[in-house]
Amino acid sequence: MRVGEPTPPAGLWPAEAKSSLGIRQVQSREVTRLRDSAHLWGVRNDGVRLAAAWGRRQGSGAAGARPALRRVPAGSSWGGIKAVDHSPLTPAACRLPRRMWSRLTQWLWQDQLWLPLNSSWADLEDRDGRVYAHPRDLLAALPLALAMVVLRFAFERFLALPLSRWMGVRNQTRRPAKPCAVLERHFLQQSQRPEEPQMALLAAQCGLTLQQTRRWFRRRRNQDRPSLTKKFCEASWRFVFYLCSFTGGLSVLYHESWLWTPVMCWDNYPNQPLKPALYWWYLLELSFYISLLLTLPFDIKRKDFKEQVVHHFATVTLVAFSYSANLLRIGSLVLLLHDCADYLLEACKMFNYTESRKVCDVLFLVFAAVFIYTRLVLFPTRILYTTLFESISIIDAKPFFGYYFFNALLLLLQLLHVFWSYLILRMIYSFTGKGQMEKDVRSDVEETDSSDGETAKESPRLKNGAAHGPRAAPEDGPRSRTAWRLANGHAPAL
C-alpha cells in the first residue's frame, strides 16, 4: 500500500486482490468495460461515471463473495483511483480506437436524431415495473439466426424432402455437357449465352457443328439450375415460417386497438411499454430475415434476385430500427401485412412443382388478390398515411431524422410492391388470354435439346401430319454456310 493512500475498510477487497497493483488492474478493467458497453448503446452519462467498488453483495456475508458495482459521482475516487482512469497497463494504441468508437456511438445515438423533441433515451429506461425496448435486446437475434439456418437445413432434409416425394415431385433428367475446356472457359469467364458470331467461332475452334455447340451451352446451363426438389424444399420452409408468423402475429395483435385503428400507434409515443409476446415475434422475424441474408449464396437465384436482396436488407433495417426507436406498434402492422400474403405464394409454388395446375392457378389468383389489396391499398392508405402525416400532428413535434429515415424505408418497400404487382398482373393477363397460368416470370425455365429459344421455330404441319418447309440439318450432317459465316464474312476451314 502506498504512503498516503487511504486504507480500504476491512473486508472491502476480495481475497484474491493481494496488492495495490492488483486492485488497480481489476478496478480499471471493470470501469473500461462498463463505460464502453454503456457508450455502445447510447446510454447518457449526465455527469455520472461508473466506478468499480469491490465488496460483498447485500445480504451476503460469505468471504470471497463476487464483486459488486455501484455508481458514484464523476471525479470522485475510491482507493486512490478515479472512476475515469484507464489501466496503466493498457497501451495507448488500444485506448484510441475505444475513444473513437465511443465518440462515434455518442454522436450516432443522439436524442434529437432518433426521437421526437423533448424526448430522450433516458425516458425509455426500465422503471416502476415497466419494460421498454432497448437496442441491445436485438443481439439475441444473431445466434437465433444461426440456429434458424440449422433448423432450416434439418427441416428440408428430414421433412420437406420426403414430402416432395410423397406429393409426386419429379426432377427432369438432365444430360451432362461433354467435357470441353474451350467452351467451359468461355462459359465461366465470358458469357453463358454467346452471340451467334461468337458461337460459330467457338464451334470452329472445337471442331463441332453449330447445333452441337448450342446444345452444349444449353446442357451446361441446365447443370447450374436448381432441381425441382430443391425448389420445393425451399418453398415449403418459407411456407411453414410465413404461416406460423402470420397466425402468431395475428393472435398477438388481434386484441390491440391499433390493429384496427392505426392512428392509435402514436398515443403516448415514445413512452409505450414492451409486451413480451411482441418482443418474441419481433425477434423471430428479425432472425428469419437475417438467416435469409446468410443463405443467399445457397438459395435459388431468380431474375428478381437484386430486388430480393434489397428487400431483405430493407426489412432487417426496418425491423431493427423500429424496435430501437420503440416504433413497435406501427412496425408490427407492417410485418403482419407482409406475412398475410407470402405464405399463399409459397403454397402456390409447392403445388406448381407437383404439376397440380388447377390448385396452383386457384391459389395464385387468391394470392394476387390478397397481395394487391394489402400492398397497393392498405399499405399506402393505412400505414404510409399515418407515418407521413398523422404521426407528426399527434406527437406534436417537428420532423426529425428518424422520421425521414423510417418513412424512406417504407417508401422503398412500396416501390418493391409496385414492381412485384406488375409481375403478378402480367401473369394474370397471360392467364386470361391463354386460360392457363404461365410459369413464374422470375424463374429460369428448364431448357431441352430442342429449345425454341435457340433453334429454328417448329415448321407448320399439313393436315396429313407431314412437316411443311425445309427440315433442320442433322446433327452431323452438312453444315450451313450462312450459319458458319464469321463476322468478317469468311468461312472457317472445314
pLDDT, residue 29, reads: 54
Q: Which of 104-113, 120-129, 143-152 has the highest mean pLDDT?
A: 143-152
Q: Is residue 90 part of a domain?
A: yes
Q: How far apart, in whole angstroms, are the C-alpha atoms of residue 2 and residue 476? A: 98
Residues 288 and 374 in one domain: yes
Residue 190: Cβ-neighbour burial (10 angstroms; 0-12, 13-18, 19+): exposed
Is 291 a residue whose pLDDT tops 90?
yes
Residues 159 and 233 in one domain: yes
478 Cβ contact list (under 8 Å, min separation 6): none
CATH code for the domain of 207: 1.10.10.60
Residues 417 and 387 in one domain: yes
On whether the CB atoms of residues 151 and 143 are closer than 8 A, the answer is no
Q: Is residue 121 part of a domain?
A: no
Residues 87 and 39 in one domain: yes
Residues in a beta bridge with 82: 77
Q: Is residue 73 part of a domain?
A: yes
Report the helix count and the strand count for the chain, using DSSP H and E.
18, 4
Is 447 a residue whose pLDDT tops 60?
no
Is 30 a residue whose pLDDT tops 60?
no
Residues in a beta bridge with 69: 52
Residue 388: Cβ-neighbour burial (10 angstroms; 0-12, 13-18, 19+): middle
Number of other CB atoms surrounding residue 54 within 10 Å:
20
Residues 147 and 257 in one domain: yes
Residues 195 and 312 in one domain: no
Q: Is residue 305 part of a domain?
A: yes
The angle that helices 357-373 and 401-434 make with each other, rounded to 10 degrees, is: 140
DSSP SS3 for 228: helix
Q: How far apart, in whole angstroms, are the C-alpha atoms of residue 447 and residue 352? A: 18
Is this model's pTM higher than 0.75 or not? no
Q: Is residue 236 part of a domain?
A: yes
Residues 301 and 407 in one domain: yes
- Is the alpha carbon torsion for 375, 376, 382, 385 positive or negative? positive
Q: Which domain does 398 fall in, by range?
A: 135-167+227-434
Number of other CB atoms surrounding residue 181 within 10 Å:
8
* Residue 101 cell numbers, joined: 468508437
Residues 216 and 232 in one domain: no
Please report, rounded to a whole number, the percentage of residues in the chain having pLDDT higher than 70: 68
- Is the alpha carbon torsion for 99, 101, 104, 106 positive or negative? negative
pLDDT in tens, 321-359: 999 999 999 999 999 999 999 999 999 999 999 988 899
13 phi, psi to nearest 5 deg:
-90, 150
Nearest-10 Cα torsion for 401, 312, 371, 264: -30
Q: How far apart, in whole angstroms, are the C-alpha atoms of residue 7 and residue 394? A: 58
Q: How far apart, in whole angstroms, are the C-alpha atoms of residue 312 and residue 291? A: 10
Residues 93 and 141 in one domain: no
Q: Total structural domains in the chain?
A: 3
Residues 403 and 311 in one domain: yes
In single-letter form, the type of residue at position 256 comes to E
Residues 304 and 398 in one domain: yes
Q: Is residue 120 part of a domain?
A: no
93-123 burial, b if ≥16 CB within 10 A, otherwise e? Answer: eeeeeeeeeeeebeeebebeebbbeebebee
380 Cβ contact list (under 8 Å, min separation 6): 414
Q: Given pLDDT bands bounded at 50, 70 and 90, which one contains residue 442?
A: low
Least confident segment among 37-41, 357-361, 412-416: 37-41
Residues 151 and 27 in one domain: no
Q: Is residue 7 part of a domain?
A: no
Q: Is residue 85 part of a domain?
A: yes
